[in-house]
Structures are given as C-alpha cells and as structure tokens.
A and B are shown apart, each in its own frame.
Chain A
C-alpha cells in the first residue's frame, strides 16, 4: 500500500475518444500506454516516477480488464529484462524506473535487449532525476541511449506532446526494431494539464498467445556470431529506419521567427523554460510565438542531420539549449555541420552553464547573451528595475538567517531509534566506519545524527564495506533498507559478506516498505497485498545464504535492546557477518493506516487510548540533548516561560504520535526528567471513571496539603 492513493484518479484511465483528461503527467502517460495497446507494463519505483508505479498498482483492475499484465519488478534490471517479451513477439511493452540510477542497474539487460533488437514496441519510461529536488548524483541518461543505441525521446513538457510521443514512440520502436526511452523530468511528471483522449486499445496479440505458441529466433540472441551481425544491423538498418520515421512523422518541431539569421535549438524538455526566457526578454509572446526561429528536439537521439542542415541554412549562429553535461548534442551538431560544410556558429554551453539545472534565470540570461551578440537590435532597452536596491539589501540580510532544511526522518519514524542507539554505542565504543545505502535511513548523514561515510547505491550498503575485511580492533557497520535488501542487497551485500568471510555488522532496516519512495510493498511487507506475495522473512533469507549470527529486533523503539544488540554484534567473538534485522513499521504509512481506524473507533464510542509526549518547561534547562539524540520533527524549541532563563526550552508539538522514543532516550542516555507521557483515554469505561474518581480524591487531598505547606513556608 503506497502512501498516496490514486484510486479516484485512475478512473480517468477509462475515458474514451474525444473526452478531456485533466490531471498529472504520470497519469497521462499511463493513459497513453493504454491507448497504444500495451500488453504488459513493469517497473521499479524511484522519484520522479514512483507515482507512476502507484498509478499502475491502483489501476490494476482496469489493466486486467484490458488484458494488460502489470509487474512490480524486483529491480530495474528485472524491469528491463521484462522487455524480452517484445523480442520474439509482436507485443508492446513498457517499463519505468528512475534515471540514471535505475538505468545503471538495468544496463546489462538493456544492452542485451538492444543488441538483438525488438519486434514489438518496447518503451522505457525514465524519470530523469536532475536538478532541484533531485535525490541522486547529477548525471544524464543520454549516454546510455548512445552507447546501447536506444532512441531517446524528450518531449515538450505538456500533456498533449507527452501523450503523442508515447504513441509515436511505440511506432518508432517497431519501425526501427529498437527500444525507445521516454525521458520525463521531475516537473513534467507532476505537471497538471489537459489533453483530449482516445479509446483504450486491447492488445490484439496477447501474452497468453505467446506462452502457448512459443517461437524463437536464434539470430536475435546476443551471442557471437549474432552480436557482430547486430552491430552492423544497428547502424545499417535500424538507425536509418529511425531517422526516416522521425523526419516523416515530424516528431521534431520547427517554429518560424522573424530573425532568420539566428536560431535556437533545444531539447523538448527545455521548451517551456526557453520560451519563458524569450518572453521576459521581450522576444516572444505568451503563446509561444517567438521572434527567433526555433527547432525543438522531441527526439534527442538520434539527431536528424538533414533537419539541422535545413534549420541552419542562412543562419549566422544557433544556440543549443541542452541541460546537463557533457554537451553531447552540441558536439554532435558541430560534427553534422562540419561534415555538411556549413559555417553557422554553434553556441551552447559557452552562453549557458556547463553544469547545473537550466533554471528560468540561467536560460533567460543565456538567451540574452546570445541575442545581444548577434541581434542586439531586437532586445528592448534596459530599464532599471524598480526597488532593486531594497531587494538586494533584503537578500543580503536574510543570507545569514535562512538555514537549510534537509529532509529528515518523519515524526515517530522507527529508523531514528536505530541511529540513536548507534550514537549511544559510539559513546561507549568510539566511532565506527559506517557504510550507508539508499533510502530514508540515509538521512542519518544529516544533523542531528551525522552518521555515515559513503553510499554506493541501492542494496550496496554491505558491499560498500567489503574492503574493510581485515583483522582490526573494530568492525565496520553497514546499513541497508528492506527495499535495498530485496533489490540487490541479499546477494551483493549479504551473500558477498558470507562468501568472503567478513566479520562486519549489517543492519537491515525492516520497516515494511520502500518508504522513501512513498511506501511500496516488497517481499517482506507485513500486511497482505491482494496481488503480491508478502510476509517473506528477511532473517530466513539471510540464514538461507549462510549467515549464522542473525537477530531480529521486533521493536526498534526498544532503545536499550537496540543498543545492546549492536554492541554485541560489534564485540562478539563469533565469526562471519552479523546481521541485525531491525523491525518496526514505517510511521508515515502506519499512521495512514491506523488513524482512520482510531477515528472510526472513537466515533463508535469505543475506548481508545492516544499517547503523546510532553516536556515540563519548569524542569527543562534548555540544553537540547534530547533533540540531538532524536531529531524528531515533533520536538522543537520554544521561548523559556521562566523569566530568569534565556535558552529556549524543548517543546513537544501536538503532532507527536507517542512512538515512545523520547522516553527511551531519556532513560538510555540518562537525560533530564522533563519528559512525560500522557495517555489520553477517549470514551473511558465505567471502571476507568471509577478509578479516576478515587485517584482525584486521594491525590487531590495531598495536592491541597502541598499547596498549603507552600503558602506557609
């Protein structure tokens, strides 16, 4: 069960011909897949296409009605390999994952797939996680397309264009026997817009047909001598076929402009930002009518040489708006023009920046630089901006004040106590080298925990510690999520540690989901999933690959146990890897599940106990150790109510879910006695009320006595 439900929105997937669809990019892509008659879809979650996986899961019924099979792949490699179904059969299929990390994992399968080529249309929808809001290293997917020869579609970020490119992409794939990649950037995935729908298409050839009437063609298998033939085919047949299809179907777009001696070329995904840049420079109106001719590459690989030759005819210079580095397109265009002996000057990274997201301001300024160089006459006169000085001084003033807000563990997160325990162990045994993985647990590298030295990728937490496998007085700790564990970690991290006789410690954070991506289910998820097999034990799995020392802690909030188990793992003389499975449900998802249940129970008049923590301000001396050992968003500071004190007190917000960590920390770290737990009993029973009455009577008596004593002190 994912954090966000699309149960309502997926109904739009049933819209028929001529109706208006309104919604997010990912939903539009799904609709386009159905309109294109896909037989199967698969993928692995990761921003920005996690929600595409959620949409597909929530739409399973609609997919089944249409005879479309959906798989939650074990990894991107699995997803890419799924496309093998399109090699021998006229089956259209699509897979999706995050790029470039997912593409990295998938590349073995992708290379094998592209070598032999495909018969049915094969599409890889990649969420290009680049620029603001990205959670990974800044790289491009472009070279994957180039090296394996996959056609790369980069549509203008509006729904009609995206939908058209899905549809045309399948045709292109079939016309050239080559898989295609549809690249969508973060904002395009979530852009809300409209398009006119068509009827969904039920695949004419089905998976069942293929299973029951199998065919094979040995020449499509990536094995010599076939591979040599494939390489020739790629350049001699498939490439020309693709170029022909792209040109004939006008997948790339040309827009006229009065300044015929210059021009702007851009990746489709850069279109809106570029047009806005032109608009604020007075070079375009709000409707996309620009004074400078424009050439939009909705297909960024392969480039169509003839189109460039045509566009550059009679032009002094062009500017290429190509986000990310290296400048593959710019280099290719230079080669194309050189070969055609065309003297048009090619600008790009010299006017825009080499690295970094092409934000509105970067593009606006680059465009201005370019136009000023060749057609300064077209730029409006510069006027000083009203109030610019007060803006500048305000910006300077906030500089020291505005502090970053890196992502951190949610309120009540079960992963937090694991790192609190590590902090406590550090106090006793000193610091350890910690190898991290990918997931919410990686937030440990930020304050307040500041734990973790490296991350080498998903499921590679243990693998990242492999070299530290020599005799030493300390051990190395690796962290891995349950998601990473099933994705890659079981073999690459745990199996590897067993085989190489490592003595190190691996902590598997078993919170029931891939939480960082919104809470998708995995093989060890705690709850039933009607379409997947869950509740497979991680401890059993690691024992299966040969781990002897394995402990499952069923409540991570048990801080003392967490700390002692870690200490034991770090000090036990027993040989072989020590695996600690630290189990408690992701709080974000738990709350989503439990809250409505509690509310309903209260409404039914049932007895419900809600717990939350608080801090007594009059005993809090404001040194905030509790926050440094927890970092829960519900723990904050407030001005000290005591006029004698200056330091702010710790305060627990009403958002506290009573996970209990605050109390555990106060005990385990021997902090101050300021924390209290309040249990609020809704709809108390008669017994509760009787007990309460008695207590009020007795306690009240002593409280009055206390007050009297104080008065006569």
Chain B
C-alpha cells in the first residue's frame, strides 16, 4: 500500500487533494471535528478548505461538512493554489466520517462511499429519526441492513459504538470520532499531531483527550468491521432492568414453581414462561402465577396437537397472557413508583452524583373510572353511581396531579394505593380482564384445531389491549372489533394474513381511520 505518511510520495503520484466528508446532526460537534481536521492539517504543512451548509438544518437535521487537504510540498514551484471543491462528489471521497449509523447509511445512499476509494469511519449507535419514534408500535429501521450496506460499500470500514465510548469517558462524540480517524491511519498524521490539535483548541482538553483515546481503542483492530449484533447495543446496554421482576427478594416457593414449569414446557418457550411467572408473582402473588400455568395448559396441548413445530402459538400466548394478567392499573403503577429499586434507578438515569439530592415527582391523571375499577367491586359500583361519592371522586380527579414520591406525604399516598393490591381480585377491572382473557384463550384453542396460523395471529391480537385511560379504551375497542371478525375471516382465503393486516392497521394511527378503512375493505372483497 501507498506510504500515506510521506507527503512527497503522495504528491508526486497523485497531486490530489484528500477529500473528507463529515455527516453529523446538529449539536453533535461536526463543525468542531471539521475545524480540528483543518487545524491538524495546516500545522502539518497542508492547505485546507472547509465548507458546510448550516442554516435551519443546524438544529436537528443532518448536516454535511466537507474538508479538502492539499500538501504544500506537492505544490510545484510558483504554482497557483490548488482549486478545491465545495461539496463532496459521489465516487470521489476518500474519507467519510458519520456520527451515527443512519447517517452512515445516508452517505452510502448518496453514493459518497465507494469500494474503490472510501474509508468509512462511523459510529454504529442509533439516533432515531422522527418517523421511527412516532410509530405507534415499532417503526425502527433495520440496523443490521444499514451496517451491512456500510461494510459492503466502503473500501475499509471502521465502525463501533462511539457514542457509548463518549458516554463512558464523559466526552463528546466529535472527540471520539477524531480518535477513530487517527486510529484508521487514513490521514498522513501521527497520533501526537492529533493530540496537539486538541491541546491547541484549548477547551475541555482533558475530556476530549479521554474521548480521543476511547475512539482510537474502539476501532483498533476492527478494520474488518464490527459484528452485526453490535448495532444498537448502546440502547440495550443502558436500558434499565425491569423493576417488575422481583429482584428485591429471591424467593424459594417461586423458584420451585419456575423449576416445575420449566419441566413442563419446550425449551423455546421456557424463558417466556419464566418471565411470566416472575411477573405475576410480583404483580399479585404465587397463586396468581399458578393460575397462569393452569391457563396455559390447554394452549400447550393445542400446540402439541396442531403445532407446526415452531412453538409460536404457545410462545405468543404465554407472552400475551402474562401481560394481560399483569394489566396496568393504579395499584400496579403506585407500587412500581415507590419501590426502593426504582429510586435508585432514577438516580442513575439522571446521573445524580454523591452528595446531590434527587426529588422525584410523578405526573398522574387517575380518572374516576380507573379508581372505581381498582377498588373492591361494591365500592367501585358506588363510585360509578351518580351521587355524592361519585362527584367527590370526580372533583378530586378533575385535574392531573403532581405527586412528589420522595416527600413523605406523596409517598404515603401512593403506598396506600399500592396497598389495595390485597383486594385486587375483588375489583371490577379484575373481573373484566379475566372475562376477556378467558374468552380469548377459549377461542385460540378452538381456532387452533382448524387453522394454526390464524390462532397465532389471534393470540397476538391481545397486544392491542394495553396502556391507560383513553389509550386503553381505544385498544379495547380495536381489539373487540377485530376479534368479532375472526369467524368471518376463517371462511376466507388466507385468514391469518388478513387478521395480521387488521392488527397492523389498528396501530397505524391513533384516530382509528386505517382500521376503519381496512374493515370496510374486508366487507367489499
């Protein structure tokens, strides 16, 4: 390979400016990185030109910075200055630096990354685009596809989760990218030259140096690329452990129950059943977890008898049943909010340091209906009947409430609500959910005998029932209108596919118009 470290050789052979494109989002320090590169090059005897397209895009949009570097030593005697371009040309870029995986994908899409010349240096973490975030279910782009495209279109690819490296070192991604650039050895400058550039800039030098070193380490020895599983690992690594599992107490009877269940189910569904049991024991009690096993039994039988070997029906039903039995009511919310483990988690999440005090306030909006449904049924009915009880509760819940969980008063309020757990089984909501789950399970078993795939879809439909307040009501309405159609679908071609489409339509928007349209279409076809 060419000795990039010797400017004379580079010049003699190519007399060509080095072209560098930086793709970053507003606020990520793409400009700082570009300025560092210019400063680095100028101090090493290069002419440098830098341009960018700021403007409103600077806020949150994607921005491209473009740098060209030309070795002064390659200038023939008395030659004019080289003419440098103001924008990257597809097929003509030597180094592309991308601050995030989709931005790297964007560089590929624009043809800036080509196998004959481009070194691609990218952070493989994801910063989600608005369209991905506002999806009602999961609208995320496929990270492995993006990563694969980066690897396939670059001459050499240096990828790693550099945002995580920045976070670990208390630095910013621009510094980490600068380190990755140094490590890539795609520029004819030594590490010391990079570091003195940071010194010269003079702001936050120590943190930038840490980030820089982390960037070098992150891409060292990964010229061949990163394993596909790495994409998005940052988010999963920093996601909190669910407080819904009884991590606070290891509990022997539960362990015994889990062990017993594990023997009764195929290996592929064991993790789900285990999670389900733990969830329900935590949600209510051991008996409730046992109920769960009992209810799953007919499904396990159906799976054995009619299954296609995938175990999908059992897995999906086990998952949905656990979520359905552990429905979100005010009792559950209160309990989760006041746990000691949650207080610790919040401290971590807001990065509180020792010596700082953290106060937590909740934004609650319990409504008459939700309260009435959580208390014993007799009291609930009283609350719902017009009268003084009803108006008193209504008055108290007219406005949203901010509850300070870290104050003694606020804590005790929630503690009291959480204590209603003992009576949960006698509440209106409990009966309602039970009935819904029972009929759902029965139908799954019945349908499984006729059409396994349709039964799996039916199992997944229960996922529409979730959330609180309006969201919950809307979910129930959608669920019910879809379920009502299952028998009609069963007589038609490809019923599972159709049910799947209806389920997707239900989460396509929150006005319900997509579902309405899908149902209307069903009527005509």
Chain A interface residues (CB < 8 Å from chain B):
47-48, 129, 132-135, 157-158, 186-188, 190-193, 271-273, 275-277, 279-280, 285-288, 359-361, 364, 385-388, 390-391, 393-395, 397-399, 401-410, 440, 446-448, 516, 588, 612, 614, 616-619, 621-625, 627-628, 631, 633, 635-649, 651, 654, 662-663, 666-668, 670-673, 675-682, 684, 688-689, 692, 694-695, 698-700, 702-704, 706-708, 710-711, 713
Contacts and interface: CB of A to CB of B under 8 A. Distances in A.
A644 B350 CA distance: 26
B52 interface: yes
A627 to B, nearest CB: 5
Contact of B56 (A448, A516, A681): A516
Contacts of B140: 637, 648
A624 B135 contact: yes
B440 interface: no
Nearest to B469: A670
Given A191-B50, A192-B51, A399 B109 contact: yes
A628 B132 CA distance: 11
Among A190, A391, A654, the one with the most B-chain Cβ atoms within 10 Å of its Cβ is A391
16 contacts: A186-B53, A186-B55, A187-B86, A275-B83, A359-B89, A387-B153, A394-B113, A395-B149, A617-B239, A627-B134, A642-B275, A667-B365, A667-B399, A677-B402, A706-B335, A711-B251
A617 B235 CA distance: 13
B188 interface: no
A276 B70 CA distance: 14
Contacts of A287: 75-76, 79-83
A403 B132 CA distance: 8
A702 B323 contact: no
Contact of A624 (B127, B136, B469): B136
B227 interface: no
For the complex of A and B, 4 pairs with smallest distance between CB atoms: A387-B115, A667-B400, A360-B89, A133-B53
Contact of A47 (B56, B127, B152, B362): B56
Contact of A672 (B81, B115, B471): B471
B282 interface: yes
A633 B130 CA distance: 8
B444 to A, nearest CB: 18
Contacts of A681: 356-359
Contacts of A447: 130-131, 134
B437 interface: no
Contacts of B338: 699, 702-703, 706
Interface string B60-102: 1111100000100001100111111111111110000000001
Given A133-B55, A187-B87, A448-B134, A698 B468 contact: no
B136 A673 contact: no
A410 B60 contact: yes
B340 A700 contact: yes
A638 B239 contact: yes
B51 A616 contact: no
Contacts of B340: 700, 703-704, 706-707
Among B63, B91, B332, the one with the most A-chain Cβ atoms within 10 Å of its Cβ is B91
B104 to A, nearest CB: 9
Contacts of B1: none
Among A516, A636, A637, the one with the most B-chain Cβ atoms within 10 Å of its Cβ is A637
Contacts of B276: 644
Interface string B470-486: 11000000000000000
Contacts of B64: 132
Interface stretch (B209-217, B240-248, B512-520): B240-248
Interface of B: 15-17, 25, 38, 48-57, 59-64, 70, 75-76, 79-92, 102, 105-106, 108-109, 111, 113-116, 127-138, 140-142, 145-146, 148-150, 152-153, 155, 232, 235-236, 238-244, 246, 248-249, 251, 271-272, 275-276, 279, 281-282, 284-286, 319, 322-323, 328, 332-333, 335-340, 342-343, 346, 349-352, 355-367, 399-400, 402, 405-408, 411-412, 415, 418, 463, 466-471, 507, 510
Contact of B109 (A402, A623, A698): A402
Nearest to B84: A272
A214 B360 CA distance: 69
A407 B56 contact: yes
A676 B15 contact: no
A440 B26 CA distance: 15
A684 B241 contact: no
Nearest to B150: A394
Given A191-B49, A695-B408, A390 B362 contact: no
Contacts of A391: 111, 113-115, 152-153
A678 B276 CA distance: 31
Given A395-B111, A401-B142, A360 B56 contact: no
Contacts of A639: 232, 235-236, 239
Given A387-B114, A682-B356, A394 B400 contact: no
Given A405-B25, A614-B346, A707-B340, A394 B153 contact: yes
A702 B411 contact: yes
Given A187-B53, A393-B152, A677-B363, A668 B339 contact: no
Given A275-B83, A402-B102, A619-B328, A672 B53 contact: no
B247 to A, nearest CB: 10
Given A47-B56, A702-B411, A398 B146 contact: yes
B55 A448 contact: no
A684 B356 CA distance: 7
Among B141, B467, B470, the one with the most A-chain Cβ atoms within 10 Å of its Cβ is B467
Contacts of A622: 137-138
Given A360-B92, A699-B408, A680 B130 contact: no
A635 B135 CA distance: 13
B357 A699 contact: no
Contacts of A188: 86
Given A47-B54, A394-B108, A677-B361, A621 B153 contact: no
Nearest to B411: A699
B116 A387 contact: yes
A401 B107 CA distance: 13
A192 B38 contact: yes
B86 A272 contact: yes
B86 A405 contact: no
Given A133-B53, A672-B469, A684-B357, 20 more contacts: A133-B55, A361-B111, A394-B153, A401-B102, A401-B142, A406-B130, A612-B350, A618-B244, A635-B133, A638-B238, A641-B239, A670-B470, A672-B471, A675-B362, A678-B346, A699-B338, A699-B406, A708-B249, A710-B248, A713-B285
B402 to A, nearest CB: 7
A286 B15 contact: yes
Given A410-B59, A617-B239, A706 B339 contact: yes
A276 B49 CA distance: 14
Nearest to B474: A623
Contacts of B62: 405
A681 B355 CA distance: 9
Contact of B363 (A406, A612, A673, A704): A673
Contacts of B415: 702, 706
Given A617-B240, A699-B411, A673 B275 contact: no
Nearest to B82: A286
A676 B361 contact: yes
Given A390-B153, A405-B61, A663 B146 contact: no
A614 B145 contact: no
A276 B470 CA distance: 59
Nearest to A159: B49
A414 B272 CA distance: 44
B129 A403 contact: yes
B149 A190 contact: no
A409 B342 CA distance: 31
A688 B89 contact: no
A706 B202 CA distance: 52
A280 B346 CA distance: 56
Contacts of A588: 59
